[in-house]
Amino acid sequence: MKILDEKIECISSEGMRSLQLERLQRLVEYLTKNSQFYQGKLEETGVAAGDIRELSDLTRLPFTVKADLRDNYPFGMFAVPMREIAEIHASSGTTGNPTVVAYTKKDIELWSMVMARAISIAGGTPDDIVQNAYGYGLFTGGLGVHYGALELGASVVPISSGGTKRQLKLMHDFGSTIITCTPSYALFMAEEAREMGYDPRKSPLKVGILGAEPWSDNLRREIEAAWDMTALDIYGLSEIIGPGVAQECPYKNGLHIFSDVFLPEIIDPVTGRVAEEGESGELIITTLTKEAMPLLRYRTGDIVTISHGTCECGRTLPRISKILGRTDDMLIIRGINVFPSQIESVLLQVEGARPHYQLVVDRIRGLDTLEVQVEVGEELFSDEIKQLQGLKEKIRKEIESVLALVVDVKLVEPKTIARSMGKAKRVIDRRSA
Ligand code: DLL
């Protein structure tokens, strides 16, 4: 398979470190000159541009957190005048101010470049037809993939999310070879296809570039079997650029992170201690070359492990694991820490459970409870009660043995759990209500 940017994607570790250091020094100088926000922060921390002499000096720099973006709503984080801003995106902002992010023209070029790399790492070439079913608009998924597909020279169908019947018709008629959407939407589309009497395994799709929400390897297997395609993970977040921060290759050995432009660190989210190779921690990213809104040591809240060393695909870019959870979506149930994706992983190993589930957390008489609602196949519902009871018990026991957590299991009929065209809502927490 051709490597798009071999000089960077296969660079030696010394080469990468010296590139990162040079860019980091330039970044701190740039921020000292251009960003009012960072001028204040750097002054508080007592670090000047000249103090960054080696890469390990990175840890002397201050963290940036989401609240900084909210507090400086709407444009307080910008490091360039408005006339240089080319594009502005914002989160949906269900609570309080939305998070605003902005790009100069050069930032859009950077976004196009990293997204072209991502599609290429997934196996995409100019011969592919990319059906882009991420939402277009203020969400960064749609436009990010779009720019990358253009940069790579592929053909892009900007269909956006939703309109499932039309998705399936155009996919078939156009011969789309790559689908880009959330994993939950890929699953839902396969379900709809079957209902329309169309076998998704016969679709022209070869690869799915799926992300924007957590998903387990077991869900990957479901999606791959449903579509008879390779399903690969893509990671990113609006604050850093959007999609295009890290991308899994067909060897499925972690996601290659574009560390020439997004400098990663993994730390213990509580103590701040740097994690060892292979140890999980919070991913922190410094954007090395952005103009409009560069971020120093941004706390993504996403929990990963990182590994270095050459991948079977030939790339030397470090690899992060699939996102194991978020610092803020970890459920603490009666003192036990669980991430929704761990429950997903267990559920999908039990025969009869379908990959549609929701977790309902509540506090009853001072005690946390977790109800796992999961759909089971139609055939099971017409079966004897005894069999359903057996399945329920099996799921309960499996979760208990893997996570040491006692939960209530509720089996529900097909299509009871709401389907999602974008990010799925897996957890309903009634404790704060
Ligand atoms: O979700 C950007 C994106 C679009 C990524 C399309 C991939 C594909 P935000 O809406 O700002 O941006 O949400 C970012 O979503 O901090 C993670 O918690 C989560 N997330 C993104 N990708 C993955 C993934 C886009 N592959 C937040 N696995 C991030 C797990 C993911 N979680």
Within this chain, do residues 147 and 247 fall inside the same structural domain, yes or no?
yes
The SS3 assignment for 135 reads: coil
Q: What does the pLDDT average to over 53-59? A: 97
Atom nearest to 246 CA in ligand 1: 26
Within this chain, do residues 203 and 306 fall inside the same structural domain, yes or no?
yes
92 C-alpha to ligand 1 centroid (Å): 13
Within this chain, do residues 251 and 365 fall inside the same structural domain, yes or no?
no
Paired tokens of 179: 């689908």
Res. 96 pLDDT band, cuts 50 70 90: confident
Take atom 21 of ligand 1 and give the residue whose Cα is closest: 212
CATH code: domain of residue 344: 3.30.300.30
Within this chain, do residues 301 and 425 fall inside the same structural domain, yes or no?
no
- Confidence at residue 212, expressed as pLDDT on a 0 to 100 scale: 97
Atom nearest to 326 CA in ligand 1: 18
Within this chain, do residues 342 and 280 fall inside the same structural domain, yes or no?
no
Are the C-beta atoms of 231 and 210 separated by less than 8 Å? yes
Paired tokens of 357: 């589930």
Q: How far apart are CA 302 and CA 328, in angstroms?
A: 9
Within this chain, do residues 141 and 226 fall inside the same structural domain, yes or no?
yes
Q: Tell me which residue range forms the domain holding 367.
A: 331-429
Within this chain, do residues 139 and 2 fall inside the same structural domain, yes or no?
yes
Atom nearest to 242 CA in ligand 1: 2
- Confidence at residue 93, expressed as pLDDT on a 0 to 100 scale: 66
CATH code: domain of residue 211: 3.40.50.12780
Choosing from 302, 326, 350, the residue where a domain stops is 326
| Length of the chain counted residue by residue | 433
Least confident piece of the model among 75-84, 244-253, 373-382, 385-394: 373-382
- Confidence at residue 156, expressed as pLDDT on a 0 to 100 scale: 98
Q: How far apart are CA 54 and CA 48, in angstroms?
A: 14
Q: What does the pLDDT average to over 32-51? A: 97
Q: How far apart are CA 219 and CA 36, in angstroms?
A: 45
Question: pLDDT, tens digit, for every residue of 312-343?
Answer: 999 999 999 999 999 888 898 988 999 998 99
Domain count, the chain: 2
Within this chain, do residues 29 and 11 fall inside the same structural domain, yes or no?
yes
Nearest partner of 207 among 184, 188, 181, judged by Cα = 181
The SS3 assignment for 163 reads: coil
Q: What does the pLDDT average to over 180-191? A: 97
Q: Is the pLDDT of residue 381 over 80?
A: no
Choosing from 326, 342, 360, the residue where a domain stops is 326
Within this chain, do residues 306 and 335 fall inside the same structural domain, yes or no?
no
Res. 433 pLDDT band, cuts 50 70 90: low
Choosing from 258, 292, 326, the residue where a domain stops is 326
Pocket around ligand 1 at a 6 A CB cut-off = 134, 140-141, 211-214, 233-238, 242-243, 300, 302, 323, 326
Within this chain, do residues 149 and 239 fall inside the same structural domain, yes or no?
yes
Take atom 14 of ligand 1 and give the residue whose Cα is closest: 237
Within this chain, do residues 287 and 394 fall inside the same structural domain, yes or no?
no
Question: pLDDT, tens digit, for every residue of 153-184?
Answer: 999 999 999 999 999 999 999 999 999 999 99
Take atom 16 of ligand 1 and give the residue whose Cα is closest: 237
Within this chain, do residues 35 and 179 fall inside the same structural domain, yes or no?
yes
- Confidence at residue 94, expressed as pLDDT on a 0 to 100 scale: 66
Nearest partner of 133 among 181, 95, 94, judged by Cα = 181
- Confidence at residue 387, expressed as pLDDT on a 0 to 100 scale: 86
Question: pLDDT, tens digit, for every residue of 199-225?
Answer: 999 999 999 999 999 999 999 999 999
298 C-alpha to ligand 1 centroid (Å): 15
